[in-house]
Amino acid sequence: MRKGIATLPLHWGRAPRWLFEDMKKLSLALMEAMLIEYPPVKILENLSDPYYFQSLGCILGFDWHSSGVTTTTMGALKEAFKKLDAGIYICGGKGKTSLKTPDEIKKIGFEKGMEVDSLIYTSKMTAKVDNSALQDGYSIYHHTIIFTSKGEWSVVQQGMNETNRMARRYHWFSDTLKDYTCEPHKGIITDGFTTPLNMVSEDSTGSRKISTEIASEYPEKTLGELKKIRELKMPSRHYIIGYDVNLKKLRKPLELAYSRQPEDFESLLGIKGVGPATIRSLALIGELLYGEKPSFTDPARYSFAHGGKDGIPYPIDRENYTRSIRYLKKAVSMARVGETEKLRLLKRLAFIDNNDININNPKRKGGKNVKV
């Protein structure tokens, strides 16, 4: 099940090298502490919770509402788990690194003697759903999958919208997965709403079915219908635009779909080359010719867990934030780290707690920057 989505301001720039190094050390301490009390799957469950993830990013010292909290937190955790023999692995990352995710999974599978085909499929399908089935204006540019030696998994990925300069984070968790393509959300965190083509809504059940049927028809028939639709004057309320469909580029994925004869919408999404434009076109035909309307509702339901130091989207919920910090203080005190390091980390958390939840770190001089 996809557990939630968070929407964050898109921030450019770099995180100080010293901060990222501290994030890696604190991540290691926190994960060691968690593993004392909980099984590995609990960590995956926590990371699939957008509220927990946002809190963790704050504790690690990164901007609460920056898009970089996703990339730096996952980067720090990825490095931390390389040093832990916990049966937890993280693959993927930002940009070109995300494209190497299947190869990273295969490497771990070979080294650990694990069957990883299903994990590779999960990695690809979750990205395809959030990029093509839910067209909310955010293109996936960061993708990570966290999995255990038992095959349990969680996915954290982020999309970018260059128009409104926002980034939206998507969370998935294997424990309650029933269907990749129907109501996979459990909660979505956002401070802005869009009017997307939401093909994973329960209200889009008929649209998913008819889209799959249309994709199985002879391509020339489908392209002919689209050519007619392009000539129509679409009503202003319509969110699927016919005239932006490139028929030449659409031919190949339609031919592939026709040759494969997909049995359901998930199979259709899994066909290479079937992307946002193909899904949008099939949904358009399904609505105008067959009356099967897709959903245009943004599945966002919630706002941030703690609020922000700058009052956006609302002032920090100090009680909730303090509760998170109190738990992490206990966790860090149990971590298997040296006394000097443990004391420094505890002082850092105490500084946060005793300064009106000021999540800014004291300025440091020197050090290189790490790209986020």
- Residue-wise pLDDT tens digits, 22-66: 888 888 888 888 888 889 999 999 999 887 888 788 777 655 445
- Asked if 239 and 296 count as a contact pair (C-beta separation under 8 A), the reply is yes
Do 140 and 170 belong together in one domain? yes
**C-alpha–C-alpha distance, residues 37 and 303, integer Å:** 30
Indicate the range of 102-111, 142-151, 299-308, 343-352 predicted with least confidence.
299-308
Give the whole-angstrom CA distance, residue 86 versus residue 108: 14
Among the candidates 231, 255, 290, a domain finishes at 290
The lowest-confidence range among 196-205, 314-323, 351-360 is: 351-360
Evaluate whether residue 310 is within a structural domain: no
**Domain-located, residue 128:** yes
Output the pTM of the full model. 0.77
d(CA 317, CA 54): 13
- Identify the domain boundary among 263, 290, 317: 290
Query: Which two structure tokens, joined as six digits, stand for 336?
Result: 């298997």
Helix axes 219-230, 247-260, angle to 10 degrees: 150
Residue at 152 is within a domain: yes
Query: What's the domain range around 284?
Result: 202-290
Are 115 and 31 part of one and the same domain? yes
Examine the fold and report which residue of 290, 305, 324 is the final residue of a domain before the chain moves on. 290
303 or 196: which leads in pLDDT = 196
SS3 label, residue 208? helix
